[in-house]
Amino acid sequence: MANIVEDIKQPINEEMKLFEQKFYESMQSKVPLLDKVTRFIVTTKGKQMRPMFVFLCAKLVGEVTEKTYRGASMIELIHTATLVHDDVVDESFKRRNFFSINALWKNKIAVLVGDYLLSKSVLLSTDHKDYDLLGVISRTIREMSEGELLQLEKARKLDITEEVYYEIIRQKTATLIAACCEIGVLSNSTDEVLARKMMDFGTYTGMAFQIKDDLFDYLSSNVIGKPVGIDIKEQKMTLPLIYTLNTADEKNRKYYFDTIKRYNTNPKRVKELIEFVKNSGGLDYAITAMKDFREKAKAILNEFPDSDARRSLHSMLDYVIERKF
């Protein structure tokens, strides 16, 4: 899988190398503690798929500019801030097999670092008068917060429909990937119709990405390093589960609702529910929905002439739903 990511990066290899330097610069501070934490963030970075979307979308419609680098840094600052805050909220002490910031420096520092990264993202746009990008990232931060809160509210009542599920994952996950694609276009073009089209491309891609993540809850944990049934334990109503409960008979629906509500930490009941979802076609239903989103995204890409950037974005779409973690 690492080779696939390297192949996708091919048309933007030089840009990604320069981006790493610019991203680190965008985080720097005069406060020694902050500098220590941001150095740690840079050394434990992930695959940086979101900046890749920014650069590939910029290349799809034109050339990479200084504004593209700023846009990619803004996105990565927001993404990193949300991960830092998520680890605090989830009381998670590991992130990509490293200790999380809250594990190393405690919650108070982690929250303040997340706030600092968000402020740097906003300042990066205002300092350079990139007000169009500021509009995109402000909307994105708002939607991500709304999506998380909507999910928390629904987890308490367990009254989530497919429609609400799609709204949650659009806001929580897809909105950031949509912002990457929109910013990529806005960094070298003033064509708002084109920017909107690539925003839709990012939304469909993000929806497919999140459904794939939700499917991992039903797969062997030794492949992906995520414990099986973790979403059920956290009472998150994902697409395989929603479909299964909607199509179950009254007796099974009551029994498995009870599992989610009262026995969500009972390993035997959780395992039972996972098997029921698998046998009821819940996984197949979610896989079909995920592939439908990919096809919608591909249809948008196919409106553009053939190029290295377009081929890489096609590969990215396939990677999104075929990845093993």
For the entire predicted model, the pTM comes to 0.89
231 and 218 Cβ atoms separated by less than 8 Å:
no
pLDDT in tens, 227-257: 567 888 888 889 999 999 999 999 999 999 8
Domain boundaries, the chain: 2-214+292-322
User: If you classify domain 2-214+292-322 with CATH, what class do you get?
Assistant: mainly alpha
What pLDDT does 134 receive?
Answer: 95
Instruction: Give the H or E element holding residue 37.
Output: helix 32-43
DSSP 242-280: HHHHHHS-HHHHHHHHHHHHH-TT-HHHHHHHHHHHHHT
Tell the residue number behind the tokens 């390297």, with chain if given.
Answer: 6
Cα dihedral 74, 76, 77, 81 sign: positive
Give the residue with greater pLDDT, 203 vs 2.
Answer: 203
Minimum mean pLDDT among 19-28, 139-148, 250-259: which range?
Answer: 19-28
Query: What pLDDT score does 222 carry?
Result: 41
Share of the chain above pLDDT 90, in %: 55
DSSP state of 218: G
pLDDT above 50 for 224: no
Cβ partners under 8 Å of residue 66, min gap 6: none
The two counts, helices (H) then strands (E), for the chain are 17, 2
What Å distances lie between residue 312 and 92, 163, 307, CA to CA? 33, 31, 9
